[in-house]
Structure 1
């Protein structure tokens, strides 16, 4: 590693953690010192086993992982991460990489692949991309959880109407299908839109798409696609 680092952008969360796994102690400590020099919390491990034994707090994070580890290889560690459903972006580094190895790692979810020796700034740039990706994923998770929370406030009838609106049915069609008056249908649609906090009908339809209500106008299909606490069996 060499070159004068420019640091990480200010938008990176202050509580973000970069985990590093490398069985070369000198490289491990050098990476840790680099990350800490730009204000990033670094947790260092010499093996995959040590990493898996360490509790992972629920904060933005990424993993810098050497491919050629003694014992478990970095690719095996990656497989275990996937198997354990640990959601963390991985930046691979190796002095012995090849195209096939890079492709395999990237297909399994790695966000970057650095060949040793690399510049300090190359590593910081890769870490930045990984942390930004993790923060974006976390924000998407929060948004989806909030959407599901709002959907849970809808009555069964409002959910039925919403599913049909999402699938392109007009008020008169929904009323006929559900044996309701058109005014009652409009009332349920408006109540659903209010509870979902949608800004427009287009926004309402997009929310339904995210929830998986498309092509599920019947009650049972909508529930199977978007099961929530309190849903009828």
Structure 2
């Protein structure tokens, strides 16, 4: 069980928040509750660790769908509403909600949805943490080293990279060594994986040498 993900309950009905909180706490989940979308945005720390949101659809002021749009898929969202209809359910799911439950919901369905949300939350938080670490490593590179990285991962030789960048092969080798050291990798495939994750890849130009013509039969 991924119980260490916090479940944020956002519902304007105090009795619903208490009931949901009791059930989830009894099954080992960490829970925080908010009476409005605005309170959640002002008080919840979404960077503290993995989290999912158990979100009421109809609330005064900012409703559930509006809050979902503000969150922009930063955390998994589970909708729980007594006012659900097909149109709103479709909107919620298209916007990335992982479940849409209608009140009253059984403990079994609630816990299954929250468990799914916690698993998604843990995976999402791990990916975001990995990307944050990679961004920090990329930021260590000088502009020239970053440029060399984008060309090296295309698979062309150091001599060709030097030609593209208007320098000599020896200089490219030095930059390449610095890049690998700063990114803490020891192989080209590892560099390629990082560049792919971070969207760093130079656009290959057509080679300056002529292509072979068609064979004459």
Task: State if a TM-score over 0.5 links the two structures.
Answer: yes
Listed as ranges, the matches of 1:68-83 within 5 Å are 68-70=58-60, 72-79=62-69, 81-82=70-71
1:214 to partner: Cα distance: 1.6
Partner residue of 1:60?
A: 50
Q: 2:159 aligns with which of 172, 188, 196?
A: 172
User: Unpaired runs of 5+ in structure 2?
Assistant: 206-217
Give the 3 Å change call, closer, same or farther, for CA 178–38 of structure 1 in structure 2.
same
Structure 2: distance between partners of 1:48 and 1:183: 58
Give the 3 Å change call, closer, same or farther, for CA 153–29 of structure 1 in structure 2.
closer
Give the 3 Å change call, closer, same or farther, for CA 143–160 of structure 1 in structure 2.
same
Give the 3 Å change call, closer, same or farther, for CA 99–199 of structure 1 in structure 2.
farther
TM-score calculated relative to the size of structure 2: 0.79
User: Does residue 155 of the first structure (1) align with residue 142 of the second (2)?
Assistant: yes
- 3-state SS in 1 of match to 2:3: coil
Given that 1:198 and 1:204 are in contact with CA atoms closer than 8 Å, whether structure 2 keeps it comes out as: yes
Listed as ranges, the matches of 1:177-192 within 5 Å are 177-192=164-179
Give the 3 Å change call, closer, same or farther, for CA 187–114 of structure 1 in structure 2.
same
1:128 to partner: Cα distance: 2.0
Given that 1:21 and 1:64 are in contact with CA atoms closer than 8 Å, whether structure 2 keeps it comes out as: yes
Partner residue of 1:225?
A: none
TM-score calculated relative to the size of structure 1: 0.74
1:35 to partner: Cα distance: 0.9
User: Does residue 32 of the first structure (1) align with residue 21 of the second (2)?
Assistant: yes
Partner residue of 1:116?
A: 103
1:207 to partner: Cα distance: 1.1
Give the 3 Å change call, closer, same or farther, for CA 147–216 of structure 1 in structure 2.
farther
